[in-house]
Amino acid sequence: MTSASATSARPVPRPGVLAIEPYVPGKSAAPAGVSKVFKLSSNETPLGPSPRARDAYARAAAKLELYPDGGAVALREAIGARYGLDPARIVCGSGSDEILSLLTSAYIGPVDEGLYSQYGFLVYKLAILAAGGTPVVVPERNFTADVDAMLAAVTPRTKVVYLANPNNPTGTYLPFDEVKRLHAGLPPHVLLVLDAAYAEYVRRNDYSSGIELVATSDNVVMTRTFSKIHGLALVRLGWCYGPAHVVDALNRIRGPFNVNGPAIEAGIAALADEGHMAAAIAHNEQWLPWLTREIEALGLPVTPSVGNFLLIHFPKTPGRTAKDADAFLSARGIILRAVGAYGLPDALRLTIGTEEANRLVVDGLKAFMAGGAS
């Protein structure tokens, strides 16, 4: 396979790289002429970050010439204190996307398989392909990961199993008993990655982000992000908690200064503002059920969600499809997320927004279903 590039007139990427479909982020712009835009396409918080995080970020502007602390020690200590974890078993990254990529490239190579469920977060597939591995997609039931099907798909080549819990874009979750059953059925050499990007939003007694499982196993890693409830998506900040041997592997392959200084400062400040986080949780607790009810009342099925977003299903009827709804709402400045790339061409994902945005979404969908012009 190297011989082709040896005779090539220009550098050629490794086999498979050009077969990867680039990730398409949620839209952020509306058509020309729309004055106010409500971006409800990327699960960003309508409350913004803590004002303390904003201040800390701004203060970092006074020392742009300095390298950040490559070990992100102060941030890892703040995370450790907040969650009762050993900072030595935490790795920070430029978004949890970077952590997911690092984990994948550390454990998956050519001929290895990475396994995730049917509507699982797309970054897993991209990371597996980028590492030269083979993505294995396991069917879901009711838009929810199916533990038995996942275990049945494990082969001697499986190196990593990814589970977003709750999952994006479906909003569904697995109770902790099911996660434990998944873990118990995996061979010890398979790494279980629990992506808990939306853990803070979940209000269910049978849910756990997986911290206990990491603490008591040698093959489980939990990833978290500052992009969602902490409102710091712009600065790119995420982290993971894992066994010492996994942390050691990640620290060997990550960039020496992979987390930037303003992100470290903002992250520490965000963790300290528990009131802001409580407000974000309360906002979601109020509007998630309201939007679910109101949208279902319009005859549009909504997958029950425990996150800060909803998956709305549209009919295939011409004029009433997800694509039609997307165009109709966009013309009103309301931007949802098309999820065709997830194999969900008949659905749109809606992020819980401000009260104003949420009411406009319901009004917009009402007009759409009534067949009115935008």
Instruction: Note whether 284 binds ligand PLP by CB under 6 A.
Output: no
Going by the DSSP 8-state scheme, the letter that residue 19 receives in this structure is: G
Sheet containing strand 113-117, edge to edge, reads: 90-93, 238-241, 220-225, 191-195, 158-164, 113-117, 134-138
Instruction: Note whether 145 binds ligand PLP by CB under 6 A.
Output: no
Going by the DSSP 8-state scheme, the letter that residue 337 receives in this structure is: E
Instruction: Note whether 104 binds ligand PLP by CB under 6 A.
Output: no
Using CB atoms, what's the residue nearest to ligand PLP? 95
Instruction: Note whether 342 binds ligand PLP by CB under 6 A.
Output: no
Instruction: Note whether 209 binds ligand PLP by CB under 6 A.
Output: no
Pairwise CA distance, residues 193 & 243, whole Å: 12
CB 109 within 8 Å of CB 132:
yes
Instruction: Note whether 140 binds ligand PLP by CB under 6 A.
Output: no
Pairwise CA distance, residues 187 & 258, whole Å: 32
For residues 154 to 173, the per-residue mask of contacts with ligand PLP, x marking binding by CB under 6 A and - elsewhere, is ----------x---x-----
Name the nearest CA neighbour of 364 among 273, 318, 278, 298: 298
Cβ at position 352, least distance to ligand PLP in Å: 14
From 38, 107, 119, 121, residue interacting with ligand PLP (rule: CB under 6 A) = 121
From 41, 45, 96, 104, residue interacting with ligand PLP (rule: CB under 6 A) = 96
Cβ at position 40, least distance to ligand PLP in Å: 14
Strand partners of residue 186? none
Instruction: Note whether 208 binds ligand PLP by CB under 6 A.
Output: no
Cβ at position 267, least distance to ligand PLP in Å: 11
Pairwise CA distance, residues 92 & 76, whole Å: 7
DSSP 3-state assignment of 334?
A: strand
CB 135 within 8 Å of CB 124:
yes
Residues near ligand PLP (CB under 6 A), total = 14
Give the sign of the dihedral formed by CA 285, CA 323, CA 119, CA 19: negative
Cβ at position 196, least distance to ligand PLP in Å: 8
Residue closer to ligand PLP (CB basis): 233 or 279: 233
Distances (CA, A) of 138 to 93, 112, 119, 183: 28, 16, 9, 16
Instruction: Note whether 114 binds ligand PLP by CB under 6 A.
Output: no
Instruction: Note whether 314 binds ligand PLP by CB under 6 A.
Output: no
Give residues 220-249 in contact with ligand PLP (rule: CB under 6 A).
225, 227-228, 233, 238
Residue closer to ligand PLP (CB basis): 134 or 223: 223
Give residues 24-63 in contact with ligand PLP (rule: CB under 6 A).
43
Residue closer to ligand PLP (CB basis): 223 or 333: 223
Pairwise CA distance, residues 272 & 371, whole Å: 48
The C-alpha angle with vertex 187 and arms to 181 and 191, in degrees rounded to 5, equals 85
From 97, 113, 200, 294, residue interacting with ligand PLP (rule: CB under 6 A) = 97
Name the nearest CA neighbour of 163 among 204, 123, 195, 210: 195
Which residue has tokens 């990814």? Answer: 162
From 195, 265, 294, 326, residue interacting with ligand PLP (rule: CB under 6 A) = 195
Instruction: Fill in the amino acid letter for 165.
Output: N
From 128, 174, 193, 197, residue interacting with ligand PLP (rule: CB under 6 A) = 197
Percent helix, percent strand, percent coil in the chain, to nearest 5: 45, 15, 40
Instruction: Note whether 130 binds ligand PLP by CB under 6 A.
Output: no
Q: Applying CB under 6 A, which residues contact ligand PLP?
A: 43, 95-97, 121, 164, 168, 195, 197, 225, 227-228, 233, 238
